[in-house]
Structure 1
Amino acid sequence: MSKRAVLEVIALDVEDAIAAQAGGADRLELVTDMAADGLTPTVSTVTAIRDAVDISLRVMLRLSDGFGAGDAHDVGRLVGIAEQMREAGAEEFVLGFLDAAGDVDLAAVERVVEALDGCRWTFHRALDHASDRDALRKQLADLPGLDTYLTAGSATGVDEGLPVLRTESSRTGEPGYEQQLLVGGGLRLDHVPDLRASGVAAFHIGGAARPGGWETPVSAAAVGEWRRAVDGVPR
């Protein structure tokens, strides 16, 4: 475990961002509206957070609940938002779209990724709702900038997804599996040692960073506990 594991924390605002960095987060996922599982934040929120911290930020590109990109007008809006975020200095992103059959909406993903102009990005937990995970990964394998999959291994969370996560971690380097696995979604501290032993080196937390629930800000102390866990420091 010589290479430090990545700890990514969901941040809704500047207060969250500062606490997450203080606790030892390596990267933030910037969203709004967690009642809809995280939508695109405002440009002003992104720029304020960028000014407040000096760790990496990944900005969510998602306009509505669910994993559909919407119609051509909606995809056009997403492209416009991506361009605005780029102009405001955003350099990393999070996105992922499926069609009604659970296949990757490749046309929508490609349009948005083109607007990112080579920026690094995460394909999020839409993967866990796909009809065929392996096919999706192979379809996206050559898209520019894709370096991470956020996944629980299962639509229901890490408890059910552990076997899939272990298997996919072991396939690193195969076509479609070069990207880093970022594990999140029902992730608990007690999952971490098993995942680290399986080769997982990136972890994503949201509610776990907020012991008081989503109505309360990120706790630097809670993030610090996760930092120690992913670093393998005994509790």
Structure 2
Amino acid sequence: MNHNNKSPFRGLGLEICANSIESAIAAEKGGADRIELCANLGEGGTTPSYGQIKWCMENLGLEVWPLIRPRGGDFLYTDAEFECLLEDISFCKQIGCHGIVTGILDKDGNVDETRCRQIIAMASPMPVAFHRAFDMSQNLKESLEAIIALGFVRILTSGGKANAEIGTNEIAQLVLQANGRIEIMPGAGINSDNLLEIAKITGARCFHTTAKDKFASKMIFQNAIGKMGNKDSDEFSYDQTDLDKVKVLKETLNSL
């Protein structure tokens, strides 16, 4: 089944950055309109597994937009990494994802227009959003025009700042510059305490957040000595989208 949908939300929209199947389920139950499905939030998000993408497409009713990012770190990729990225996009198109989220820069911090054209072509007719690689570009105004010209449908941004609350004025300027040609979606550090203020200042219509909390493991036996991650990590807790936080965010948006 093809779930492609190029039209932006009517009214206000809530996108949850879901780092697992359970996070995706919580996002849907909480009333989110869309998920950006990813893995490895600690690295800013990387491509989720084929199994996760397929499960969400087959079992959830909200829009599923997988993040296509082959690794953490910067957004300058080798030929092999770019080939992998295109293969992931092809898979998402084959199973009917609503869209994908990605982005590539060149070594000078400009949008890599050559590779982005290949991405848009590979994804078509599936829509493509540009993630916060935008915030790492050297000139946001120029990058915005390049991304619009390439055919992306949305940009996730903190206004080039550490989080969207700090970057509200910059996001507001981007919304004005975009002038309806592309959706500008604030993200990074958005919560129920600052959502209304960010919405009012920026004039944005859709908002992105993890709505996450730390969940304790249900394991009865716990080996406190062995470590799967770094030495300071807690192996018996994990970050996951919180259903109640999603509900509050959605209710807050609905109050506008």
Q: TM-score, normalization: structure 1?
A: 0.88
Query: What is the SS of the residue equivalent to 2:64?
Result: strand
1:4–1:231 contact (8 Å) kept in structure 2? no
Matches within 5 A, 1:202-213: 202-206=206-210, 209-212=211-214
* Alpha-carbon distance between aligned partners in 2 of 1:152 and 1:223, rounded to the nearest angstrom: 20
Give the aligned partner of residue 117 of structure 1. Answer: 124
C-alpha contact 1:15 1:217 (8 A) present in aligned 2? yes
Question: How many equivalent residue pairs?
Answer: 225
Asked if residue 227 in structure 1 is aligned to residue 231 in structure 2, the reply is: no
Displacement of 1:16: 1.5
**Hey, what does 1:132 align to over in structure 2?**
139
Aligned partner of residue 118 in structure 2, secondary structure: helix
How much has 1:127 moved relative to structure 2? 1.1
Structure 1 residue 44, shift from structure 2 partner: 1.2
- Counterpart check, 1:190 vs 2:193: yes
CA shift for structure 1 position 152? 0.8
Deviations 1:6-43 (A, max 9, x none): 10001223221121111110000011111221111111
Give, as a single letter, the amino acid of the residue that structure 2 aligns with 1:99: D
User: How far has the Cα of 1:47 moved from its partner?
Assistant: 0.8
Q: Is the 8 A contact 1:69 1:108 kept in 2?
A: no
Residue 87 of structure 2 corresponds to which residue in structure 1? Answer: 80
Q: Which amino acid aligns with 1:219?
A: D
Q: Counterpart of 2:157? A: 151
8 A Cα contact 1:47 1:89, kept in partner: no
Superposed CA offset, 1:156-177 (max 9, x none): 112321111122223342xxx6
- Tell me by how many angstroms 1:69 deviates: 3.9
1:156-201 Cα distance to aligned partner (Å, 9 max, x none)? 112321111122223342xxx6111111112233332233224211
The residue number in structure 1 matching 2:184 is 181
Task: Write out per-residue CA displacement over residues 119-175 of structure 1, whole angstroms, 9 at most, x where no aligned residue.
Answer: 11211111111100111111222223x1111001123112321111122223342xx
Counterparts in 2 of 1:48-87, with a 5 A limit? 48-87=55-94
Q: Note closer, same or farther for the CA distance 1:155–1:102 as it changes in structure 2 (3 Å cut).
A: farther
The residue number in structure 1 matching 2:108 is 101
CA distance in 2, matches of 1:141, 1:17: 29
Conserved in 1, the CA contact under 8 Å of 2:184 and 2:204?
yes
Question: For structure 1, which runs of at least 5 residues remain unmatched after alignment?
Answer: none
Separation in 1 of the partners of 2:99 and 2:250? 22
Query: What is the CA–CA distance in structure 2 between the aligned matches of 1:23 and 1:78, rounded to whole Å?
Result: 31
| Structure 2 match to 1:5 | 12
Residues 21-40 of structure 1: matches in 2 within 5 Å? 21-40=28-47
Counterpart contact for 2:154–2:184, Cα < 8 Å: yes
Q: CA RMSD in A?
A: 1.8
Aligned-partner Cα distance in 1 for 2:98–2:196: 31
In structure 2, runs of 5+ residues without a counterpart are: 1-9, 216-236
Q: Which one-letter code corresponds to 2:255 in the other structure?
A: G
